[in-house]
């Protein structure tokens, strides 16, 4: 059975880092897979992947150690089951607002008795080592489950969310959280209080707190505070930044 190296590092108390891929390109995903990140986040919520291109992209990870994670577009069990059957070694679930939703997301990630995941998937025999039966027997131990909290309501329920069995990371989505905070008439200081509440709740529960970091400054700040899961940078941001720099360098030629 293929080992989830990112999950193993997390369980050992280490920090894990990976970029988000939004462009629906299996070739791009394959290139990033070989760069040595702990994980690569393939985004099916806001990214451009179709089911076909996502399936193709996940196949490119069979030959590398980097863990493929997929942020799904919904909590629907069939969608979650399908992504894992394609070969994802972990799941990022957006907009989890309470423990009931956390449990609903968790169930299709794990086979019985821990969950309700259905057996199947043509790629699983390639991940299972000696075949599909080994995958069924061992996959529960190799799945990395990340739940995103992105609203004041969610963070108000975070103490119960972190206690749901099978959850490894509770991840702050700072952009959506800021939208929600401002919609309720609050400010950046309140946003920061909510972020710290997530960190403290995760630490008490013995799981990792995560943060989406678009800059090195934000990543270093959160790492010093004790966050251990980092979605750091993205293909879209890096491409735009690099091209702006190239344009600035060449504009006067």
Catalytic residues: 46
What distances in angstroms separate CA 8 from CA 5, 25, 152, 186, one per listed residue? 5, 28, 31, 38
Beta bridge partners of 18: 231
State the Cα–Cα distance between residues 142 and 69, nearest whole angstrom.
Answer: 12
Alpha-carbon distance of 33 to 18, in angstroms, equals 10
In three-state secondary structure terms, 15 is: coil
3-state secondary structure of 27: helix
Listed in sequence order, the residues at least 6 apart from 124 whose beta carbon sits closer than 8 Å to its beta carbon are: 85, 87, 132, 135, 136, 139
Contact between 79 and 130 (Cβ < 8 Å): no
């Amino acid at each position: 059975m293929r080992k989830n190296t990112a999950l193993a590092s997390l369980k050992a108390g280490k920090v894990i880092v990976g970029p988000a891929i939004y462009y629906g390109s299996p070739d791009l995903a394959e290139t990033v897979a070989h760069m040595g990140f702990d994980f690569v986040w393939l985004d099916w919520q806001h990214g451009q992947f179709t089911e076909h291109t996502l399936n193709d992209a996940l196949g490119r990870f069979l030959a590398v150690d980097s863990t493929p994670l997929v942020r799904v577009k919904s909590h629907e069990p069939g969608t979650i089951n399908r992504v894992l059957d394609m070969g994802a070694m972990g799941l990022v679930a957006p907009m989890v607002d309470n423990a009931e939703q956390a449990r609903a997301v968790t169930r299709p990630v794990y086979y019985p008795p821990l969950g309700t995941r259905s057996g199947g998937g043509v790629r699983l025999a390639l991940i299972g080592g000696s075949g599909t039966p080994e995958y069924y027997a061992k996959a529960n131990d190799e799945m990395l489950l990340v739940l995103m909290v992105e609203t004041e309501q969610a963070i108000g329920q975070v103490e119960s969310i972190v206690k749901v069995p099978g959850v490894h990371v509770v991840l702050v989505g700072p952009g959506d959280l800021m939208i929600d905070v401002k919609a309720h008439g609050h400010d950046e200081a309140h946003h920061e209080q909510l972020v710290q509440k997530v960190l403290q709740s995760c630490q008490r529960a013995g799981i990792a707190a995560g943060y989406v970091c678009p800059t090195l400054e934000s990543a270093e700040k959160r790492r010093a505070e004790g966050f251990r899961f980092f979605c750091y940078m993205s293909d879209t941001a890096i491409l735009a930044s690099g091209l702006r720099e190239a344009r600035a360098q060449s504009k006067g030629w």
